[in-house]
Amino acid sequence: MDADKAIGIAADIDTDLAERLRFVLEIDRLKSVLRQTMLADGSRQENSAEHSWHLAMTALVLAPFADEPVDLERVVKILLVHDIVEIDAGDVFIYDTEARAAVAEAEQEAADRIFGMLPEPQGSDLRSAWDEYEARETPEAKFAYSCDRLQPLMLNLAIGGGSWNRHGITADQVKKINGGIALGLTRVWEVADAILDASVADGSLAPPPS
């Protein structure tokens, strides 16, 4: 039996349940979206589903360092949905600013489609969490974004530069992008900034162009 037949059987019994099960199957596709960042052991690229889980755990662990009090349940919800649009739009390298701008419309369309698969009010609730992350105005969204910038930074550091070295990214670019950590984790960014300076000194991160 394939997935469509299984969902069809569910729909004959409970349409609401069938819609939720179809969504659960759909988001499995996020496991196939590869990111530029490698795992900390350097064995392979991480996928976007792994990334989202890792961010949720990062948020739980770093909550005491958040600049403002946050609703952790809301933060975790934001982080679990923030990259779901990559099922349709794909993952775009954070340092490719032109590609990031070009994919914005595709991500909005993906959000409409994917969250629209769920019955209301749940579809709108998860979509609002995605929109909240994109706007980065609430304490929860700022903290979530800070975690999202910190996690790949740590993975790149773990393997001596990782995707930074592979793509010729220099320290000034890394600091410009990852300075976003300070949006909700000021103290953590101070530490990360010092680590980046040390990485330039030891040759694992290229210095800014002279």
| CATH numeric code, 33-201 | 1.10.3210.10
Query: Which uninterrupted H or E stretch holds 167?
Result: none
Q: Are 145 and 179 in contact (CB under 8 A)?
A: no
Provide the whole-model pTM: 0.94
Percent of the chain whose predicted confidence (pLDDT) is above 70: 100
Is the model's pLDDT at 1 over the cut of 90?
no
Q: Which of 6-15, 29-38, 60-69, 99-108 has the lowest mean pLDDT?
A: 6-15
Residue 25 confidence (pLDDT): 97
Residue range 77-98, pLDDT digits in tens: 999 999 999 999 999 999 998 8
pLDDT for res 210: 79
User: Is 46's pLDDT higher than 80?
Assistant: yes
The predicted structure's pLDDT at residue 7: 85
The two structure tokens encoding residue 115:
């969250």
Domain segments of the chain as ranges: 33-201
pLDDT greater at residue 12 or residue 27: 27
Element (H, E) at 76: helix 72-81
pLDDT of 208 above 80: yes
Average pLDDT of span 152-181: 96
Q: Residue 156 is encoded by which pair of tokens?
A: 């790149």
pLDDT at 10: 79
- Segment 153-168 shows an average pLDDT of 95
Mean pLDDT of 154-180: 95
Please, what is the average pLDDT of the chain? 96
If you average pLDDT over residues 11-16, what whole number do you get? 90
Q: Please give the backbone phi and psi of residue 38, each rounded to the nearest 5 degrees, phi first.
A: -90, 160
Interatomic CA distance for residues 104 and 210, integer angstroms:
33
Q: What is d(CA 145, CA 133) in angstroms, rounded to the nearest whole number?
A: 7
